[in-house]
């Protein structure tokens, strides 16, 4: 499990999601990773909502 966490962290940091150089607990790391992945999805849904409202 520890190797998976390290691999996930390295992969996400290399893709462009830079971490804040803070020592986080395992739960904190999962929360940070989840929020970084969810933010673009939420932003995309907001754009689609505004677009739908403007089209009407």
Determine the Cα–Cα distance for residues 28 and 36; give it in Å rounded to an integer: 12
The two tokens of residue 54 are: 């403007």
pLDDT at residue 56 in the model: 67
Residue 47: helix, strand or coil by DSSP?
helix
- Residue boundaries of the structural domains of the chain: 2-55
pLDDT tens digits, one per residue of 23-55? 778 888 788 878 888 888 999 999 999 998 887
Determine the Cα–Cα distance for residues 31 and 33; give it in Å rounded to an integer: 5
Alpha carbon distance, N-terminus to C-terminus of the chain? 50
pLDDT at residue 44 in the model: 92
Q: What is the pTM of this model?
A: 0.52
Determine the Cα–Cα distance for residues 48 and 41; give it in Å rounded to an integer: 11
């Amino acid at each position: 499990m520890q190797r998976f966490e390290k691999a996930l962290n390295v992969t996400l940091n290399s893709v462009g999601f830079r971490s804040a150089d803070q020592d986080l607990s395992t739960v904190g790391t999962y929360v940070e990773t989840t929020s970084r992945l969810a933010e673009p999805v939420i932003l995309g849904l907001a754009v689609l909502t505004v677009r739908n409202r403007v089209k009407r």
